[in-house]
Amino acid sequence: MSAIAEVPEGVETEQLGYGRAINAALAEEMRRDERVWMMGQDVAKMGGVFGVTRGLLDEFGPSRVRDTTINETFIVGGAAGAALTGTIPVVELQFADFGLVAGDEIFHKLAKWRYMHGGKLSLPVVVRLPTGVVGGAGAEHSQSLEAIAMHVPGLKVALPATPADAKGLLKTAIRDPNPVLFFEHKGMYRTKGPVPSGDDYLVPFGEAATRRRGDALTVVATGLMVPRALAAAERLAADGIELEVIDPRTLVPLDMETIVASVERTGRALVVHEAVRTAGAGAEIAARIQEAAFFSLDAPIWRLGALDTPIPQDPDLEQLVIPSGEQIEAAARELVAL
Amino acid sequence: MSTRTEKTGETGTASAELALDLYRQVTRIRALELLLHRYVKEHGFGGFWHPGLGQEAVQAGAVSALRREDYLFYAHRGLGYALVKGMAPEVLLGDLFGRTGGSVGGKGGGTVHFVDPELGVLGQGGTLGSNFVLGAGAATSVQLLGEDRVVAVFFGDGAASRGTFHEAALQASVWKLPVVWICENNGWHLSAPFSAQSPTEDVADRAAGYGMPGVVVDGQDSVAVRAATLAAVERARAGEGPSLVEAKTLRIRGHYEGDPQRYRDDIADGLEVPRDPLRILRERVPAAAADDLDAAAESEAEAALEAALEMPKADPGIVTEGVWT
Q: Name the burial class of residue B71, with classes exposed (0-12), middle (13-18) and buried (19+) by CB atoms within 10 angstroms of its CB.
A: buried
* Whole-number Å distance between alpha carbons of B174 and B45: 44
Q: How does DSSP classify residue B203?
A: G
Contact B171 A71 (CB under 8 A): yes
Contact A120 B103 (CB under 8 A): yes
Nearest CB partner across the interface for B115, out of A81, A117, A124: A117
| Torsion angle defined by CA atoms of residues A17, A23, A27 and A33, in that order, rounded to the nearest 10 degrees | 120
Most A-contacting residue of B119, B128, B167, B170 (CB-CB within 10 A), to test interface: B167
* Catalytic (active site) residue A141: yes
Taking the CA of residue B147 and the nearest CA in chain A, the distance in Å comes to: 11
Mean per-residue pLDDT of chain B? 93
CATH number of B5-320: 3.40.50.970
Measured between its terminal Cα atoms, the distance across chain B in Å is 44
pLDDT at B14: 82
Domain ranges of chain B: 5-320
Buried residues in A31-67 as b, exposed as e (16+ CB within 10 A)? eeeebbbbbbbbbbeebbbbebbbebbeebeeebbbe
* Whole-number Å distance between alpha carbons of B106 and B88: 16
Other Cβ atoms less than 10 A from the Cβ of A169: the count is 27
Residue type, A28: E
Contact B141 A85 (CB under 8 A): yes
On the question of a cis peptide bond just before residue A253, with omega within 30 degrees of 0, the verdict is yes
Nearest CB partner across the interface for A109, out of B134, B141, B170: B134
Contact A115 B322 (CB under 8 A): yes
Please report which confidence band the pLDDT of residue B267 belongs to, taking 50, 70 and 90 as the band edges: confident
pLDDT at B12: 66
Q: At residue A194, what are phi and psi to the nearest 5 degrees?
A: -75, 130
Report helix, strand and coil shares of chain B as percent, to nearest 5.
45, 10, 45
pLDDT at B13: 76
Task: Decide yes or no: CATH 3.40.47.10 for domain A209-337.
Answer: no
* Whole-number Å distance between alpha carbons of B289 and B295: 10
Taking the CA of residue B259 and the nearest CA in chain A, the distance in Å comes to: 25
The question of ipTM being above 0.85 is answered as yes
Residue type, B71: Y
Catalytic residue among A108, A117, A141, A185: A141
pLDDT at B8: 63
B242-259 residue pLDDT tens: 999 999 999 989 888 888
Domain ranges of chain A: 15-196, 209-337
Q: Can you list the residues of chain A whose pLDDT is less than 70?
A: 1
pLDDT of B108 > 90? The answer is no
CATH architecture classification, A15-196 = 3-Layer(aba) Sandwich (3.40)
Please report which confidence band the pLDDT of residue B6 belongs to, taking 50, 70 and 90 as the band edges: confident
Residues 6+ apart with CB under 8 A from B209: none
- Show residues of chain A in contact with B92, CB under 8 Å: none
pLDDT at A7: 85
Asked if B167 and B174 touch (Cβ cutoff 8 Å), the reply is: no
Nearest CB partner across the interface for B117, out of A71, A79, A121: A121
* Whole-number Å distance between alpha carbons of B275 and B8: 17
Taking the CA of residue A15 and the nearest CA in chain B, the distance in Å comes to: 34
pLDDT at A1: 60
Query: What mean pLDDT do residues B73-93 have?
Result: 96
Domains A15-196 and A209-337 share a fold: yes
* Whole-number Å distance between alpha carbons of A101 and B152: 25
Nearest CB partner across the interface for B136, out of A63, A81, A89: A81
pLDDT at B112: 77
* Whole-number Å distance between alpha carbons of B219 and B224: 8
Asked if A35 and A5 touch (Cβ cutoff 8 Å), the reply is: no
Chain A residues whose C-beta is within 8 A of a chain B C-beta are: 35, 37, 39, 63-64, 66, 68-69, 71-74, 76-87, 89, 104-105, 108-109, 113-124, 153-154, 177-178
Q: Assign residue A125 a region (left: φ > 0; alpha: ψ between -120 and 50; beta: otherwise).
A: beta
Please report which confidence band the pLDDT of residue B182 belongs to, taking 50, 70 and 90 as the band edges: very high
pLDDT of B1 > 50? The answer is no
* Whole-number Å distance between alpha carbons of A58 and B285: 59
Please report which confidence band the pLDDT of residue B2 belongs to, taking 50, 70 and 90 as the band edges: very low
Contact B133 A68 (CB under 8 A): no
B115 at the A interface (CB within 8 A)?
Answer: yes
Is the torsion defined by CA of B42, B79, B184, B296 positive or negative?
A: negative
**Closest listed residue to residue A256, CA positions, set A225, A218, A227:** A218
Asked if B74 and B55 touch (Cβ cutoff 8 Å), the reply is: no
Helix (H, G, I), strand (E, B) or coil at B174: helix
Other Cβ atoms less than 10 A from the Cβ of A177: the count is 14
* Whole-number Å distance between alpha carbons of B64 and A311: 54
Taking the CA of residue A95 and the nearest CA in chain B, the distance in Å comes to: 18
Helix (H, G, I), strand (E, B) or coil at B82: helix
Angle at A127 between CA A126 and CA A131, to 5 degrees: 135
Please report which confidence band the pLDDT of residue B289 belongs to, taking 50, 70 and 90 as the band edges: very high
* Whole-number Å distance between alpha carbons of A124 and B246: 33
Asked if A30 and A36 touch (Cβ cutoff 8 Å), the reply is: yes
* Whole-number Å distance between alpha carbons of A212 and A114: 39
pLDDT at B9: 54
Residues above pLDDT 70, as percent of chain B: 96
Query: What mean pLDDT do residues B152-165 have?
Result: 97
